[in-house]
């Protein structure tokens, strides 16, 4: 049975209160909205998800795989996601698996469906849509392989890695996409057998022997294959890593310093009748990874995909839903639960119902989660997404533009390094007409909507005890 129990077509934020957001058990994660599969292209099921932000407009898009195509959803208004359009599958009909990643402003899409190959789609087209939903065509089609279980993209190097194809023994099928409209076979690696998923990085970790190399962490059934893929025509195995009672190493992700690797084993819960587990490796010496143990979630479920941002792992764990682990003590082999949102509240059990994947990297701090039947837009608490350190006002230089302002003004905060900030807009009588408390600061500017303010002069006060002030004129 696929699906999400009691799907809510939400159009207003539902905070997590007293352990629930609507019917969904939760902790430290609010529900922004849900968009049903039938309202975003249909098909027999949904699957993988990724994200892209238009650098020119700031619009955030969820790229959602379905059995018969790929949906593009504008989530800039997280309470009212907009289905922009559909890229049909390269092969007619339905297939359970479709995976999508991004290189620059191009989506890279594969499927296990027959001779699907790899579609490449220019995401800049999304901004030009004037009638929703649009029907798109691929801009390029790589046919060097037919089916693929998944695709990994190293955005720094410009290479796409098809995995689980009929070539290279199901291992890494490497495609040069530096010219995305003219993809070219670059090489492959098959010595470690079938690869189910992979993360490929330009290595900046602690092992100086591989500094600057391109390294693949390939998840190959019963081992993690760590491979130097710098020379695409002559990839070299560094080592294999595994652990006792391994069943099916499905996917994993590196910490941001590339020192630790978290791994999900998709079938060990079924094979050994055990609780959901997240496995940990110390990979500071790539030649000699050290298994640190596992975190027992204390529930009966199966894991699927996870991605790391800062000190947190954002996990899609099938029937137990979207779960967030605090990984700040991973060096001690210790993880802890920081939050969750159970998108499949009917039950928790090992198996393949529930959530497929998630994407936690939007600057808005919203997270998109895919299930077989719906797209969830969620919002974890600020302490998870940006930390708790408040920005010190005296450390920044404050200015505003345009000035005068009509609808939207931009508050510029030179030298800001992140954290949170308090902002007040005060009229000339000293009355605060607008207040922002602990506003997450992800860059050096913040857009403020002042369209509803009466014309006149205002002071914008930044900070708490040590305030800086700038004058603004509202037209």
Q: Where do we find the tokens 């620059």?
A: 104
Residue 415 region by backbone torsions, left for phi larger than 0, else alpha for psi between -120 and 50, else beta? left
Among the ranges given (14-18, 116-120, 347-351), the one the predictor scored with the smallest mean pLDDT:
347-351
Q: Assess whether pLDDT exceeds 50 at residue 132.
A: yes
Among the ranges given (276-280, 319-323, 405-409, 411-415), the one the predictor scored with the smallest mean pLDDT:
411-415
Q: Assess whether pLDDT exceeds 80 at residue 190.
A: yes
The mean pLDDT value for 385-400 works out to 61
Q: What is the pLDDT of residue 385?
A: 85
The mean pLDDT value for 378-397 works out to 68
Could you give the CA distance from residue 346 to residue 153 in angstroms, rounded to a whole number? 35
Confidence grade of residue 2 (pLDDT, cut at 50, 70, 90): very low
Percent of the chain with pLDDT over 70: 92
Cis peptide before 85 (omega within 30 of 0): no
Q: Assess whether pLDDT exceeds 90 at residue 324.
A: yes
pTM tops 0.95: no
Q: What is the pLDDT of residue 1?
A: 35
In terms of pLDDT, which residue wins out, 403 or 419? 403
Among the ranges given (77-91, 281-295, 338-352), the one the predictor scored with the smallest mean pLDDT:
338-352
At 269, which helix (H) or strand (E)? helix 268-272
Structural domains of the chain, ranges and CATH numbers in brackets: 20-385 (2.130.10.10), 393-474 (2.60.40.3080)
Beta bridge partners of 29: 380
Confidence grade of residue 5 (pLDDT, cut at 50, 70, 90): very low
Q: Assess whether pLDDT exceeds 60 at residue 11.
A: no
Q: Assess whether pLDDT exceeds 50 at residue 392.
A: no
Here the contacts of 159-167 (C-beta below 8 Å, separation 24 or greater) are: 159/186, 159/200, 159/214, 159/232, 160/101, 160/103, 160/108, 160/118, 161/198, 161/200, 161/216, 161/229, 162/110, 162/118, 163/195, 163/196, 163/197, 163/198, 163/218, 164/112, 164/194, 164/195, 164/196
Q: What is the pLDDT of residue 456?
A: 76
How many other C-beta atoms lie within 10 A of the C-beta of residue 342?
Answer: 27
Q: What is the pLDDT of residue 426?
A: 85
In terms of pLDDT, which residue wins out, 44 or 474? 44
Q: Assess whether pLDDT exceeds 70 at residue 83.
A: yes
Confidence grade of residue 389 (pLDDT, cut at 50, 70, 90): very low
Q: Assess whether pLDDT exceeds 60 at residue 28.
A: yes
Among the ranges given (15-24, 120-129, 160-169, 403-412), the one the predictor scored with the smallest mean pLDDT:
403-412
Q: Assess whether pLDDT exceeds 90 at residue 101.
A: yes
Q: What is the pLDDT of residue 398?
A: 82
The mean pLDDT value for 108-136 works out to 97
Q: Assess whether pLDDT exceeds 60 at residue 9.
A: no
Answer yes or no: are the C-beta atoms of 328 and 334 closer than 8 Å. no
Q: Assess whether pLDDT exceeds 70 at residue 378.
A: yes
Q: What is the pLDDT of residue 429?
A: 61
Q: Assess whether pLDDT exceeds 80 at residue 109.
A: yes
Could you give the CA distance from residue 33 to residue 86 in angstroms, rounded to a whole number? 20
Confidence grade of residue 390 (pLDDT, cut at 50, 70, 90): very low
The mean pLDDT value for 202-213 works out to 97
Q: Assess whether pLDDT exceeds 60 at residue 393.
A: no
In terms of pLDDT, which residue wins out, 474 or 151? 151
Could you give the CA distance from residue 317 to residue 66 in angstroms, rounded to a whole number? 19
Q: Assess whether pLDDT exceeds 70 at residue 465.
A: no
How many other C-beta atoms lie within 10 A of the C-beta of residue 439?
Answer: 17
Q: Which residues are CB-contacts of 306 (< 8 A; sequence separation ≥ 6)?
A: 251, 252, 253, 262, 264, 278, 313, 314, 315, 316
Q: Where do we find the tokens 């409209």?
A: 181
pLDDT (tens digit, 9 = 90+) per residue, 229-266? 999 999 999 999 999 999 999 999 999 999 999 999 99
Q: What is the pLDDT of residue 407?
A: 86
Q: What is the pLDDT of residue 423?
A: 87
Confidence grade of residue 391 (pLDDT, cut at 50, 70, 90): very low
Q: What is the pLDDT of residue 396?
A: 61
């Amino acid at each position: 049975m696929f699906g999400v129990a009691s799907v809510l077509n939400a159009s207003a934020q539902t905070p997590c209160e007293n352990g629930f957001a609507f019917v969904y058990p939760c902790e430290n994660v609010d529900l922004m909205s849900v968009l049903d599969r039938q309202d975003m292209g249909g098909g027999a099921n949904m699957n993988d998800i990724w994200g892209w932000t238009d650098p020119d407009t700031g619009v955030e898009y969820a790229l959602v795989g379905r059995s018969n195509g790929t949906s593009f959803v504008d989530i800039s208004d997280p309470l009212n996601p907009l289905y922009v359009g559909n890229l049909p599958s390269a092969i007619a009909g339905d297939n359970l698996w479709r995976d999508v990643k991004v290189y620059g402003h191009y989506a890279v899409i594969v499927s296990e469906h027959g001779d699907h190959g790899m579609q490449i789609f220019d995401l800049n087209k999304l901004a030009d849509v004037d009638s929703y939903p649009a029907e798109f065509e691929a801009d390029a089609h790589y046919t060097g392989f037919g089916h693929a279980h998944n695709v990994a993209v190293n955005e720094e190097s410009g290479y796409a890695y098809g995995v689980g194809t009929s070539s290279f023994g199901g291992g890494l099928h490497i495609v040069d996409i530096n010219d995305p409209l003219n993809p070219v076979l670059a090489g492959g690696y098959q010595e470690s057998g079938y690869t189910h998923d992979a993360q490929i990085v330009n290595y900046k970790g602690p092992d100086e022997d591989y500094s600057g190399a391109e390294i693949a962490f390939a998840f190959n059934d019963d081992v993690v294959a760590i491979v130097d893929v710098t020379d695409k025509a002559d990839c070299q195995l560094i080592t294999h890593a595994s652990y006792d009672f391994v069943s099916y190493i499905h996917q994993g992700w590196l910490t941001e310093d590339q020192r630790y690797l978290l791994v999900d084993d998709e079938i060990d819960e079924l094979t050994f009748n055990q609780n959901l587990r997240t496995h940990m490796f110390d990979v500071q010496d790539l030649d000699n990874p050290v298994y640190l143990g596992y975190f027992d979630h204390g529930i009966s479920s199966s894991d699927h995909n996870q991605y790391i941002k800062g000190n947190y792992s954002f996990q899609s764990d099938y029937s137990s839903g979207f779960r967030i682990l605090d990984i700040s003590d991973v060096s001690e082999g210790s993880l802890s639960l920081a939050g969750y949102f159970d998108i499949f509240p009917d039950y928790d059990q090992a198996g393949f119902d529930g959530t497929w994947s998630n994407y936690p990297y939007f600057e808005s701090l919203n997270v998109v989660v895919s299930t077989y039947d719906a797209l969830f837009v969620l919002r974890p608490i600020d302490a998870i997404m940006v930390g708790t350190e408040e920005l010190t006002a005296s450390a920044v230089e404050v200015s505003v533009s345009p000035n005068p302002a009509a609808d939207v003004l931009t508050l510029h905060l030179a030298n800001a390094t992140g954290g949170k900030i308090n902002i007040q807009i005060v009229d000339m009588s000293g009355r605060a007409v607008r207040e922002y408390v602990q506003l997450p600061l992800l860059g050096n500017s913040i857009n403020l909507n002042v369209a509803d303010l009466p014309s006149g002069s205002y002071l914008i006060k930044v900070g708490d005890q040590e305030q800086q002030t700038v004058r603004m004129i509202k037209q």
